[in-house]
Structure 1
Amino acid sequence: MSTATSASRADHARPVRLHAVSKRYGTGAGAVTALDHVTLDFAAGTMTAVMGPSGSGKSTLLHCAAGIDRPTEGRVVIAGTETGGLDETALTLLRREHVGFVFQTLNLVSALTAEQNVALPLRLAGRRPDPATVRAALAEVGLADRAGHRPGQLSGGQRQRVAIARALITRPAVLFADEPTGALDSAASRTVLHLLRRLVDRHRQTVIMVTHDAAAASWADRVVLLADGRFVDEITGRTPAAAIATRMTALERPA
């Protein structure tokens, strides 16, 4: 087997890889280190929860891994492409093709219907949306009957599912989710988490989710723990929320 072929298979098996990634804001004595030499990779077809105390670098990690923010040092590889050498246009195209992102704030366009919001990434990419594909994406998240509704006519959980359908419409290599259940009640949270889990189990979608909630993290195959911008531990395998909460409490307890 050639080295190139081996590398290609490795990239497919690990669609996101970070090597010694650091992110600092500011300069001199006032500089703040949000990430400190973090090395991680994420296996295809798995769900990873990223957890840690407030200020541990969770969202910064997510933004660097997704190519939204550039690291100060280190390497980020998305779908086999190292992001460091890309200009802004090329980086935007890489994200558009391989990355889906769900924000806690959703960022749905209030004047557009659910169907139009889901189709928006395709239109922004200059592609003509196939109505059947858009309807299928809404059906996948259980909202086939809400295609003509605007965000203001939907519940919080339904809006989050529209955001997930929008993120998946381009068939990304990896779906990033920043506190996807943070603004939802427990019933809506379970619906969204069940949806994410089903995408992983049925479609081998790779999901990387930042969460502060041990119950949400219990749906993941792996929990990555950060503290002070560093990777400090991980929990592998589906783990009960109580066990995750205990590990989090140990992290938050002063030394």
Structure 2
Amino acid sequence: MADEAVRMRHVTRRYGTGTAAVTALDDVTLDFGHGTFTAVMGPSGSGKSTLLQCASGLDRPTSGSVAVGGTELTGLDETRLTLLRRDRIGFVFQAFNLLPSLTAEQNVGLPLRLAGHRPPPARVAEALRQVGLGSRARHRPAELSGGQQQRVALARALITRPQVLFGDEPTGALDSVTSREVLTLLRDMVHQEGRTTVMVTHDPVAAGYADRVVFLVDGRLDGELVGASSPQIAAHMAKLEALPC
């Protein structure tokens, strides 16, 4: 197994061509170690979501290399890249993206069904138990609170037992109390189960649950904090946002 769960080397991502080209990521070199919880922060337009998309194989860098679990993504064709994302990477987004006509257990088992497998009932039940929803398996999304829906989305991401879990503002649509519950769940999965997690967030309180916070400004890395409190993270963000454009 590679030393890092995700390895990025000199990753640049440009959109457009000529004078209209926009550089969203600019020569980023970054590692995410196994069993770590990393938050990615930065001012609006700093390249946070682009970094997550390139690191997870949802987008291809213009140049540079990305490896997940020692597998280099750059040379994979679309079929092999899709299989790697399906089998080794989990995603949780701000939008829950649950199918309203399916129960919680059916939503959780959906990735396995799409892969052509019958979801083992015990495995689905275990995923729901992990997120504290073992008694809600037969409930549909409309019968669940926002926080419970996000927990179902998290269980769905975990059903394939991914090496890395990526979250893009996973608590952005939740109230503060429910947000803390989901963030505690994410942190516990990292520390108790060794689940590598990378989370993009704009919220210093959310970032305070992570072991490490890396900062982006204009597509470039601009330092990191390890073991920082939410007030320390907020103060650092305030300095970045005060920088001249």
Other-structure match for 1:82: 72
Other-structure match for 1:245: 234
Deviations 1:36-92 (A, max 9, x none): 010000011110000000000000000110000111111000111111111100000
Other-structure match for 1:254: 243
Q: Which structure 2 segments of 5+ residues have no match?
A: none
Q: 2:133 aligns with which of 143, 146, 153?
A: 143
Partners of 1:157 and 1:243 lie apart in 2 by 27
Partners of 2:54 and 2:134 lie apart in 1 by 34
Q: Which structure 1 segments of 5+ residues have no match?
A: 1-7
Partners of 1:202 and 1:84 lie apart in 2 by 32
2:235 is paired with a residue whose SS is: helix
Q: What is the aligned residue count? A: 244
Query: Which AA in structure 1 matches 2:229?
Result: P
1:69 is paired with a residue whose SS is: coil
1:254 deviates by 2.8
Q: 1:39 aligns with which of 22, 29, 33?
A: 29
Other-structure match for 1:114: 104
Deviations 1:77-109 (A, max 9, x none): 011111111110000001111100001112111
Partners of 1:52 and 1:243 lie apart in 2 by 14
Other-structure match for 2:143: 153
1:18 is paired with a residue whose SS is: strand
For normalisation by structure 2, the TM-score amounts to: 0.98
The sequence identity of aligned pairs, in percent, is: 64
For normalisation by structure 1, the TM-score amounts to: 0.94
4+ residue segments displaced more than 4 Å: none
Deviations 1:196-235 (A, max 9, x none): 0110111000000000000000110000000000111000
Alignment of 1:55 onto 2:61: no
Other-structure match for 1:207: 197
User: Which deviates more from structure 2 when the two are superposed, residues 54-63 or residues 145-154?
Assistant: 145-154
Query: Which AA in structure 1 matches 2:242?
Result: R
1:152 deviates by 1.4
Partners of 1:253 and 1:193 lie apart in 2 by 28
Query: Which AA in structure 1 matches 2:99?
Result: V
Other-structure match for 1:179: 169
